Structure 1
Amino acid sequence: MLLLKDKSQTLNVDNYTIIIPSICVGNAAQLACDLLIASKKLKRIGSLSHAALIPVFGPSAYQHEPNECVASCELYESPEDKLLVVQFRAPFISRQTKRFQNEFVTLLKGARRVIILSGSFGFERRVIEGSPWAYRATDKFKTDHATELGDQALVKWQEHTGEHIFGGGNALQLYKAFEDAQVPSMLLFRYLLEGDNSTDAKLIVRELNELCGDFLKLRVASDAGDGKFKLTLPSSWNLLFGNDVTELLF
């Protein structure tokens, strides 16, 4: 399952924060991870291979690693920040999903904390005036981030208590698997619609930075003393909706 570039057989995630996207509506979580990887210039350390993953192979998605290729599931790391970002580029084969999920959790259960990003259909938001954000967190995660979650939840976030996240992919099942493994975990998702979800991806990263600015460090100090939120768009976004229509058609 684990294919690391340095040929190691194990992945050391002790004291690491791991960010995982769910394959959700509008691919918003995957786009958010694209932004994280490009903005922090994370290094690709390997990939995962499994029967649940549809094989994918293609050119580099990021300008800071022009010679790297992409696969179905990739691992990107910042050793200095103790940060590991997982990126999925293909949907799961449903009959293999549960087995992959169990092996995936076993691989990462030594982490300090896990954050799962996802999205849900906008029309599932029952209170229009309510927050477009919802989260679910384990008791240990709530204790570790009592200040941040207290401020955010009261102002923006609603705690999700349901048994389904429509359009959220396997986010809730994965969260429960990490919870059962006693890994401090949080699931954060936004209500959104299909279409160009690049703006939603930016908003997801912004919210995540408010909670985890100590290791994401996506604010750059300015002369005025106020930190500006800075993101780098990955080169793969240039063709987010395919090539331009050729003039030969007209």
Structure 2
Amino acid sequence: MFVSCDGCERPELKGFTLLMPAVSVGNVGQLAVDLIISTLGMNKIGYFYTDCLVPMVGSNPYATTEDNSTELCINAEVYAVPSKELVALQIRSPFIKNKYRHFCHALLAWVKSCTFAKVVLLSSSHAYQRNDHQLHTTSLRYLLSPAVPKTVRDLIQRLNWRELEKVSAFPEVNEEEKVLHIPGGGITKLLFTKSCSEGIQMVVLLKFCSEGDNIPDAFVLVDYLNEWLQVTTNQQSGSSPATSSKWKTPSSWKLLFGSGLPPALF
């Protein structure tokens, strides 16, 4: 359930694009949403109140001054930038066991009530479970629900993106029956299939990766998104191309892997 900040009326979000992560391998989708919120300076407009996620509270991950560094964040928050008709739902904790189906149902009910134009789900999948063909091609894939309009399909086709391949349901037994397989993708498959059956426009952007330092994967994924949506065109001079300099990292990333080893140890 969406709860507006400060008890204000629910903002008008009709026709906006909802951007959200799947809690998946390497947390790549969540890191990518962090980059977008930080780069665009998106304002928090509310919370997604649910009992499906592990409760958590922390300090403001996008703090820029001492004044806003004391603000608190919780497990699911909603940010927006009206000028771009873009809304971001950031999820910061894993699902409670057997609650993910209820979450998907509540989320899609909110999507319908807000009449979002489309939902973009940023996700990831285990790199080690790729097949031979996937090993020799790009590590990025996409999925489109049937409700996605032809204009979007044509644009993605011009970008020469690769759709996520289906795999055999029974390898070496029945090669004709194909199914969608997203190992390590969390709620990606469930949310996508439900969107397909309920006529919701959903685009899934996915990166094959492994656990570890997944910051580079997040940069690759947001660049992939930006090819299509043109979220930002900023380019900072003097930055390394390897870090996709158009993106601004949030202040919380400074301690992503802890504060480092104390010099006293040596």
**Could you tell me the TM-score, scaled by structure 1's length?**
0.89
Q: CA deviation at 1:66?
A: 3.3
Please, which of 100, 111, 121 is the counterpart of residue 116 of structure 1?
121
Does residue 97 in structure 1 map to residue 100 in structure 2?
yes
User: Which range moves more in the overlay, 64-73 or 163-172?
Assistant: 64-73
Residue deviations 1:1-55, cap 9 Å, x none? 3221041464533110011100011111100000000001101111122111111
Tell me the secondary structure at the aligned position of residue 191 of structure 1: strand
Match of residue 18 from structure 1 = 18
Residue deviations 1:154-193, cap 9 Å, x none? 3x42333332200111111112222222121111101111
Is the CA contact 2:146–2:196 (under 8 Å) kept in the aligned structure 1? no
Q: Which runs of 5+ in 1 are unaligned?
A: 223-227
Distance 1:139 1:98 in 2: 21
Q: CA deviation at 1:137?
A: 0.1
**Could you tell me the TM-score, scaled by structure 2's length?**
0.84
Alignment of 1:156-195 (within 5 A): 156-161=161-166, 162-195=179-212
Is the alpha carbon distance of 1:246 and 1:69 closer, same or farther for their aligned partners in structure 2, counting shifts above 3 Å? same
Amino acid at match of 2:218: A
Q: Which runs of 5+ in 2 are unaligned?
A: 167-178, 238-243
Q: CA deviation at 1:140?
A: 3.2
Q: CA deviation at 1:111?
A: 0.6
Alignment of 1:196-211 (within 5 A): 196-211=213-228
Distance 1:95 1:159 in 2: 26
Report the identity percentage. Answer: 27
Does residue 246 in structure 1 map to residue 253 in structure 2?
no
Match of residue 88 from structure 1 = 91
Please, which of 118, 129, 147 is the counterpart of residue 136 of structure 2?
129
Distance 2:102 2:48 in 1: 14
Larger Rg: 2
Tell me the secondary structure at the aligned position of residue 84 of structure 2: coil
Is the CA contact 1:133–1:188 (under 8 Å) kept in the aligned structure 2? yes
Is the alpha carbon distance of 1:219 and 1:151 closer, same or farther for their aligned partners in structure 2, counting shifts above 3 Å? farther
Is the CA contact 1:22–1:170 (under 8 Å) kept in the aligned structure 2? yes
Amino acid at match of 1:193: S
Amino acid at match of 2:56: V
Distance 1:160 1:175 in 2: 15
User: Which range moves more in the overlay, 80-89 or 240-249?
Assistant: 240-249
Distance 1:139 1:49 in 2: 29
Match of residue 169 from structure 2 = none
Match of residue 76 from structure 2 = 73
Is the alpha carbon distance of 1:71 and 1:121 closer, same or farther for their aligned partners in structure 2, counting shifts above 3 Å? same
Is the alpha carbon distance of 1:12 and 1:177 closer, same or farther for their aligned partners in structure 2, counting shifts above 3 Å? farther
Distance 1:91 1:249 in 2: 34
Is the CA contact 1:137–1:185 (under 8 Å) kept in the aligned structure 2? yes
Match of residue 175 from structure 2 = none
Please tell me the root mean square deviation across aligned C-alpha atoms, in Å.
Answer: 2.0
Amino acid at match of 1:5: C
Provide the aligned length of Structure 1 versus Structure 2: 241
Amino acid at match of 2:152: H
Tell me the secondary structure at the aligned position of residue 15 of structure 1: coil
